[in-house]
Amino acid sequence: MTEAEPVRFGVLGCAEIARRRMLPAIAAHPDAELAAVAAREAHRAEETARPYGCRAVGGYEALLADPDVEAVYVPLPNALHADWVAAALDAGKHVLAEKPLTLEAERTAALFATARERGLVLRENVMFLRHRQHARVRELLADGALGELRAFRAEFTVPARPEGDIRHSPALGGGALWDTGVYPVRAALHLLGPGLSVVGAVLRQDPRHGVDTAGSALLRTPDGAGVQLAFGIDHGYRSAYELTGELGRLVLDHAFTPPAGHVPRLRLERPGGVEELPLEPDDQVAGTVGAFAAAVRRGAGHRDRIEEEESLRQAELLGELARYGAPAGA
């Protein structure tokens, strides 16, 4: 095995996100190879594997037992992530798991500890972090473009999904908070740091399905800047954030799921005028696959402590916010 060999991925489940985004990206990336796809029913695995010419496996256990698979991508319903990530780590595989990594901060911490003990890479698939537009925002903040920060607002809302979607199932970890709340919470952590605390939240429950379909949260930074977050799965599409400081405002649209060809524009509004700062397009899906493969090849001694801590803090904050959706007295 040389360092240059691509990382051989196996995929647990023929999820929409896998078929639409991740499988094409894994297959196309020079540092990755799509070795096998598993589904609960073999025929689904066969249909999904066919265009890629990779192995089709019936059942997830069989894929984990495949010695040719080095790394496992887990795009299962949210409530199943923790157990299958644990099983994949037990089988000695590196793991890239869909967001949210688990539904409990304690489990997230335990899985990272297991990965560390076994010398394996474990990452939560929060793809927007790989888009360079956010690094540019962080540079502008660090350079004092806005002065002292006063407020952050972020929003990720998506249209309703068809009946039967995993997002409508409480048992599968559905609901707006776990599906879309991850994005604004993670953006706040990524841009403002881990010291955020929850002030309050409103989660609108959908009585038909028994999950929350809309939410708003108020958090604060240790310096007292207000952090307003909104998320939802029964909305018009909106994916944006803005930062307000003592000197002006910075606005980014298409913040969380820009397609690879999208030309990002940062709008910087200050008393001297409004600047539109065009940035280079970036492919955050390819970037995610490449960063994960590079981490596997670097070896576990080079784990990304900051990203891990962000994932863990995100799980803690989402857990706190989830309690605002619990029925009174629960």
| Residues with catalytic function | 99
Based on its alpha-carbon atoms, the radius of gyration of the chain, rounded to whole angstroms, reads 20
In the shown chain, the binding pattern of residues 79 to 118 toward ligand NAP, with x for contact by CB under 6 A and - for none, equals -x-----------------xx-------------------
Angle subtended by helix axes 105-118 and 305-322, to nearest 10: 160
Q: How many Cβ atoms are within 10 Å of 258's Cβ, its own excluded?
A: 20
265 binds ligand NAP (CB under 6 A): no
The residue range among 14-22, 217-225, 264-272, 302-310 that interacts with ligand NAP, by the rule CB under 6 A, is: 14-22
Q: Is 264 strand, coil or helix?
A: coil
Which amino acid, 106? E
44 binds ligand NAP (CB under 6 A): yes
Q: E strands, the chain, where? A: 7-12, 32-39, 55-58, 71-74, 94-98, 122-125, 149-157, 197-206, 211-220, 226-232, 238-245, 249-253, 265-270, 273-278
Least gap, CB of 135 to ligand NAP (angstroms): 19
15 binds ligand NAP (CB under 6 A): yes
Q: Which residue, 44 or 220, has its beta carbon nearer to ligand NAP?
A: 44
77 binds ligand NAP (CB under 6 A): yes
Q: Which residue, 77 or 245, has its beta carbon nearer to ligand NAP?
A: 77
127 binds ligand NAP (CB under 6 A): yes
Name the token pair of 195. Answer: 């010291």
Rounded-to-integer distance, Cα 152 and Cα 172, Å: 31
Least gap, CB of 5 to ligand NAP (angstroms): 26
Residues that bind ligand NAP (CB under 6 A): 13-17, 39-40, 44, 75-78, 80, 98-99, 125, 127, 166, 172, 179
